[in-house]
Amino acid sequence: MAYLQTQNLSVGYTERPLIRDICLSVERGQILTLIGPNGAGKSTILKTLTRQLQKLGGVITLDGQDLHRLPPQSLARQLSVVLTGRIHPELMTCQEVVATGRYPYTGLMGRLTESDRCIVRDALEQVHGLELASRQFDTLSDGQRQRVLLARALCQQPQVMVLDEPTAYLDIRYKIELLNLLRQLARERGIAVVMSLHEIDLAAKVSDTLVCVKGETIERLGTPEEILTGDAVGALYDISRGSYDLLMGSVELEKPSGEAKIFVVGGAGYGIPCYRVLQKHGVAFSAGILMENDLEVEVAKALTQPQNLILSPAFEPISRESYQAAASLVSRSEGIIDAGTPVGSWNRCNQELLALAVAKKIPVFAGWRQWMYSGLKNIVK
Amino acid sequence: MGKKSLSTFPSASQEMPQKLWRFWIVMAGLTLMLLWGVVLGVNMGSVSIGAGQVFSLIGQALRLWIQNLLPGGDPQPLQQLLASSTESRILFSIRLPRILLSAVLGGALSVSGLLLQTFFQNPIAGPFVLGISSGAKLVVGITLIFLSGYLPVISSGILMLSSFAGSLLIMAVVLLFSQRVRSMSVLLVIGIMVGYICSAVTDFSITFASEHEIVNLTSWSMGSFSGANWQNLSFSAGICLAGFIGALLLHKPMTAYALGEEYARSLGVPIKAFRAALILLSSLLSACVTAFAGPISFVGIAVPHITRSLLKTSRPLLVIPATFLCGAVFCLFCDLIARTIFAPTELAIGTVTSAFGAPVVIYMMLKRRSRQQLA
C-alpha cells in the first residue's frame, strides 16, 4: 500500500462534491503533481488531503491509517504544508518562522531544545537560507520567502509534504531552484511530495506522477510520458487560440488567418523569428521547403495553415513534387523572405525558389528585419 | 549536506539572547517607570505628600500587613496606621488604590487588545474600535436603570457581569459579521457602526430614565479610575491576573497562529478551541476594565503596538508580559494627567488615552497602508 493514498475521495466546499472518485497514491520519495486549469479544484483536493477541508466521501490513508482519524499532533508530525497565500507575520525573523514547524514536538511552553534549534538550522541550510536566519520575514523577496516556508515545512520532519502552487510569484530562476530542491528532498529524505503546478513543462520534468484535474473527476493519471502525448495539454486547458508544444515546452500564439501573402524560405531554425514576426503583424504566410525533422517544423505547423506548409521527407534531397508545390505558392505570393538558411546538397531546391521569385519580379527580403522595415508598408495597408 | 552546518554555525540561537536582552531591558525600564509613576501619583494632588513620607508609610503598612497575615497577627496597628493622619488616609484610601487600579486595568486592557489583534490577525483591532466597549456600556446602562429601582446599591459584581454580557454580545455580533466579511477595514467600519448603534440605544434609554437612576451611569460612562477602593481593586486584580495567566498559557498556539489559520491548523493547533479561548479571555479582561473604569479608548490598540516596537519582536511569550506592564505604565500616567492637569477639575480618562493613543493608531495605519497590508 502506498504511503499516502486516497480511495474514491470526494472533495468540495459545500455538501455537493466538486470532484468525485479521486484515487491517488504516492510512495515516499516520489513527487505527484496536480495539473489542470484554474478553478478546476486542485487546491480543494490539496486542502482535503491536509485536512483543512472536511472530505465529502471516500477514504484517505496515511501510512495505512485513516487520515481523518489521526490526532492533530501526530498528523502534524507526518504531514506538512506550503500554502499559496501570502502571509504577513509582523516582526518575525525567518528563524522564528521556521521554528514554528517545531510546534508538534515542543511542550506546553513551546521551549526549543538544542536539538530543535539544530533541526531549524538544518532546514534553513537545506534550502540555502542560512544567511536569512535573522532577517525579518516581511523584508524578504518572494523567492526567499518561498524557501523559508519550505524550510518551515521541512522543520516539521514530515514524511509527506503538500505544496499548493509553490512556484507562484517566483521568477524562472527560483522556479528551477525550488523544483530542484523538492526533487532533492524527495530523493535524500524520502519525503513524498504532493503539489499543484501551473507550469506543465516543469511539472513533466519534476514529477513521477501527473494528475490532470478537470471537470467532475480526475481526468487522467500516470507518468508524464503517459499523460503528455499529442495535444493532451491543449485538451486539458481548452486551448483553441494558440498552441503548446510538449516536446519543446514552448507556447505559440494564435495563427494568423486569411490568404498567405508571404512565403518564408527557411530551415534549421532560421525561419522561427520570421514566423513569429509575421504572426505579431497578423500576416498569414506560407513556408517551405522544410525537412520533416527540421527543428522549426513544430513552430511552422502552429503558425501556418496546413496547405501552406511544404514538407519534404527527412534525410534525402527535396523531391520534385515538393518543389512544384512550393513553386506554385511562391508565384502566388506578394513577397518572399529568405530566412538565411545555409544551402547544402539536400536543400538546393530552396535556392531555386528564390531564383524563381527574382525571375517573376516578386520582392525578396533578406531576413525578417528587411521585410519589416521596407516591405511591411507595401504589404499591410 | 545538512550535517556540515552544525559545526560551521556553532551558535544556533545567536539572535535569541540579543532579543532576550532587549526584553529584560524593556521590562526593567517599564518597572522603573511604574515605580516612578506610583510615587509621583501618590505625591501629587491637592494635598502633596513628600516622597520620603510616601515610602515610610507604604513600608510600614506593608510590614504590618505581612505581620497581619502571619498566625496570631493583630489587625489593630494596621488600622491605626491607615487612619493615623490626613496624609495616610488620603494615601491609603484614595490615591494608592486608584493608582494600582489604573495600573492593573491598563495592563488588562492592553492584553485584551493584544488577544483581539491575534484573533483578527490585524493590529488595528481593539475592544473599543470593534464596538465592544460600547456594547458593555449599553448593557451596564440598562442594568443600572432597571435595577436601581430594586436595589439600593449596585455591587461591582453586578456591574462586572452586565459588562461581560454586553462585551460578549457585541463580540458575537462582530464575529457573525467577520464570517461574511473578509476585509478587516470593512469589519472595523461595521464595529464602529455597531458601537454607534449601542450608544444610540444607551442615549435613548437615558432620555427616558429619571435623574437618580442614571447618575451612576453618567459618571461611569465618562470613564474614570476615581471609584477605586481596596475591595474592587482586589476583585479586579484577581480577574486580571487570571486573564493574564490564561493569555500566557496561550502563547504557544499564538506563535503558530501568527502564520495564519491554515498553517496553525496544519501544525495541530485546535483552531476552534483556541479562537474561543482568545475571545473569552479578551472579553473577560475588557469587561473587567469596562465595569470598573468605564469605556477607555485606544489603549488596547496603541499599547501592544508600542510594546512590539520596543521589543522589536512579536513573540507572544515576551510580548504578553511586556504589554501588560507597558499598559499599566501608560494608564497610570494617563490617569495622573487626567487627575492633575486641570485640577481640581478631573478629565475623563478616555480623553487622555485618546489624546495619546489615537496618534499612535494613525501612525500605524499610515505605516501599514504604505506596505499595502491593511484590509
Question: CATH code for A251-379?
Answer: 3.40.50.720
A247 min Cα distance to partner chain B (Å): 34
E strand or H helix that includes residue A179: helix A172-189
**B76 vs chain A: nearest CA distance in angstroms?**
45
Residue A126, chain B, CB below 8 Å: the answer is: yes
Question: What mean pLDDT comes out for the span A266-292?
Answer: 86
What's the CA gap between B325 and B37, in Å, rounded? 12
Helix B299-311 vs helix B96-120: crossing angle, to nearest 10: 80
Q: Is B76 contained in some domain?
A: no
For the domain made up of A4-240, give the CATH fold: Rossmann fold (3.40.50)
Does pLDDT of B135 surpass 50?
A: yes
Residue B309 included in any domain: yes
- Inspect the interface and report whether the beta carbons of B9 and A52 lie closer than 8 Å: no
SS3 of residue A220 by DSSP: strand
Provide mean pLDDT across the span A2-15.
86
In a domain, B51, yes or no: no
Considering only CA atoms, which of B40, B331, B274, B290 is closest in space to residue B165? B290
Distances in Å between the Cα of B354 and the Cα atoms of A173, A221, B311, B359 are: 50, 62, 23, 8
> Is the separation of the CB atoms in A337 and A262 below 8 Å?
yes
Q: Which of A50, A95, A109 sits opposite B15 (nearest CB)?
A: A95
Q: Lowest mean pLDDT: which of A78-82, A330-334, B50-54, B234-238?
A: B50-54
CB B112 within 8 A of CB B302: no
Q: Is residue B301 part of a domain?
A: yes
Which pLDDT does position B374 carry in this prediction? 41
Do the chains contact at B269 and A100, CB–CB below 8 Å? no
Chain B hits for A126, Cβ within 8 Å: 1-2
Domain contains B291: yes
**Interchain proximity A52–B262, CB inside 8 Å:** yes
Under the banding of pLDDT at 50, 70 and 90, the label for residue B4 is very low
Within a 10 A sphere around the Cβ of B152, how many other Cβ atoms? 5
The residue among B355 and B91 whose pLDDT is bigger is: B355
Residues of chain A contacting B3 with CB distance shorter than 8 Å: 122
User: Could you check whether the bond before residue A289 is cis, i.e. omega within 30 degrees of 0?
Assistant: yes
Query: Please, which pLDDT band fits residue A121 given cuts at 50, 70 and 90?
Result: very high
Confidence band of A377 (pLDDT split at 50, 70, 90): low
> Nearest-CA distance from A147 to chain B in Å?
15
Chain A residues inside the 8 Å CB shell of B269: 72, 103
| pLDDT (0 to 100) of residue B373 | 47
Query: Domain segments of chain A: what residues?
Result: 4-240, 251-379
Alpha carbon B93 to its chain centroid, in Å, reads: 22
Domain around B335 = 103-370
Rounded to a whole number of angstroms, the distance from the CA of B260 to the nearest CA of chain A is: 7
Is residue A111 within 8 angstroms of chain B, CB to CB?
no
Q: Mark yes or no for CB contact B262/A76 under 8 Å.
A: no
Extract the C-alpha cell encoding A373.
Answer: 522595415
When scoring A122, A148, A155, A184 by the number of chain B Cβ atoms within 10 A, the one with the most, hence best to mutate, is A122
Indicate the SS3 state at residue A5: strand
CA-based R_g, chain A, Å: 27
| CB of B297 closer than 8 Å to CB of B110 | no
The arithmetic mean of pLDDT across residues A107-111, rounded, is 81
Count of domains for chain B = 1
Report the SS3 class of residue A203: helix
Q: pLDDT band for position A214 (50/70/90)?
A: confident
Q: Is B258–A95 a contact, with Cβ atoms under 8 angstroms apart?
A: no
* Model confidence pLDDT, tens digit, residues B18-43: 668 889 999 999 999 999 998 888 87
pLDDT at A307: 85
Distance CA B284, CA B272 (A): 18
State the number of CA atoms in the 13 A half-sphere of B73 facing the CB. 13
Beta strand pairing status for A209-214 and A217-222?
A: antiparallel
The residues, any chain, with a CB within 8 Å of residue A105's CB and separated by 6 or more, are A77, A116, A157
CATH of the domain at B320: 1.10.3470.10
Q: What is the DSSP letter of A136?
A: B
What the block records as the C-alpha cell of A175 is 522556479
Residue B233 CA to residue B102 CA, distance in Å, equals 9
Identify the residue whose cell numbers are 513577397: A335
- The CA distance from B88 to B156, in Å, is 26
Q: Alpha carbon of A376 to those of A276, A282, B123, B235: distances in Å?
A: 14, 11, 60, 89
- Rounded Cα–Cα distance for residues B316 and B329 (Å): 19
Residue B3 has pLDDT above 60, yes or no: no
Per CATH, A4-240 and A251-379 having the same topology is answered: yes
pLDDT tens profile B164-197: 788 888 888 887 887 777 676 777 788 888 888 8
Q: CA–CA separation, B280 vs B119, rounded Å?
A: 11
Residue B131 to residue A304: CA distance in whole angstroms: 66
